[in-house]
Structure 1
Amino acid sequence: MNGMTPRFTITADPTLNLVTIVIGGFFAQPAIDAFERERDVAHRKLRCGPNQHLTLVDMREMLIQSQEAIAGFQRVLNNHATKSKRIAIVTSQTLARMQVERAAERRDVQYFSGEPAEAREWLLAG
């Protein structure tokens, strides 16, 4: 698999009401649709009420995305039925971070660089 290939893992921890997403590569709409389906599967494993879960996103391997991909992720992020209570996002590339900030505007989001442990700590401290 090369760096351009879209890839993601989404895991749910029902005891913490925490969804952890590791995402990387370059996305087109079919991969965004697959991501959304996988995210919905993870959400169904949670025990909390709607919009009460926490989300940790490690996107250090994410490439700069097309405008179409940003719009697609914006649609996924702005679905009121699946919005997180809080999101911690770990990024490395400045431009990719600027893109995700645009996609996640008006959300309770905190950005981190470096290791996901700090982001997870912030999320769970609530």
Structure 2
Amino acid sequence: MYSITVEPECQLMRIAVSGFWPSEILPGYIAELHRQTEGLKPFGGCRRILVDMSDYPIQSQEVAQAHARIIAYGKDALRAATAVVMTSPLSKLQAKRMANLAGHELFDEEAGARAWLLAQPDL
């Protein structure tokens, strides 16, 4: 349902999510995000987040709002740039509705998202 990897040399966290999530998955997911973020602190912190949602269908409002809050936390607390990869037109509509709350860039493919992230200045 999710995998989280980090690239310390780029201060980047890559998150891949898939499937339809029950709300019960959120506490474990959030705990893993915090664990991975803490692991990047010795390298200057998490400054870039790539979220691959290309295999992630429309979610419940609760789960979608949780993702928006997580991305907003990345922007506000971590000062991280976030790129989200989405291929589904319906998922993009849901993401755009949450974009004002979250603050992220949407991409159709990972290569473009990664290039944009790596072009962001180190903070």
TM bin, normalised by shorter chain, reads: 0.7 to 0.9
Contact 1:54 1:123 survives alignment (8 Å):
yes
CA distance in 2, matches of 1:118, 1:23: 18
Contact 1:10 1:22 survives alignment (8 Å):
yes
SS for the counterpart of 1:105 is helix
Q: Residues 34 and 42 of structure 1: is their aligned pair in 2 closer, same or farther, counting only changes over 3 Å?
A: same
Contact 2:71 2:102 survives alignment (8 Å):
no
State the identity as a percent: 29
CA distance in 1, matches of 2:26, 2:44: 25
- 2:72 corresponds in structure 1 to 78
CA distance in 1, matches of 2:85, 2:107: 5
Q: Residues 79 and 87 of structure 1: is their aligned pair in 2 closer, same or farther, counting only changes over 3 Å?
A: closer
Instruction: Name the aligned partner's letter for residue 103 of structure 1.
Output: M
Instruction: Name the aligned partner's letter for residue 48 of structure 2.
Output: L
TM-score of the aligned structures, taking structure 1 as reference length = 0.80
TM-score of the aligned structures, taking structure 2 as reference length = 0.82
- 2:98 corresponds in structure 1 to 103
**Unaligned 5+ residue runs, structure 1?**
1-6
CA distance in 2, matches of 1:35, 1:117: 25
- Tell me how far 1:76 sits from its aligned partner: 2.7
CA distance in 2, matches of 1:95, 1:14: 33
How many residues align? The count is 117
Q: Identify the structure with the greater helix proportion.
A: 2
Aligned CA-pair RMSD: 2.1
SS for the counterpart of 1:92 is coil
Alignment of 1:81-92 (within 5 A): 82-92=77-87
Instruction: Name the aligned partner's letter for residue 27 of structure 2.
Output: D
CA distance in 2, matches of 1:86, 1:75: 14
Contact 1:55 1:84 survives alignment (8 Å):
no
Q: Identify the structure with the greater strand proportion.
A: 1
CA distance in 2, matches of 1:72, 1:78: 10
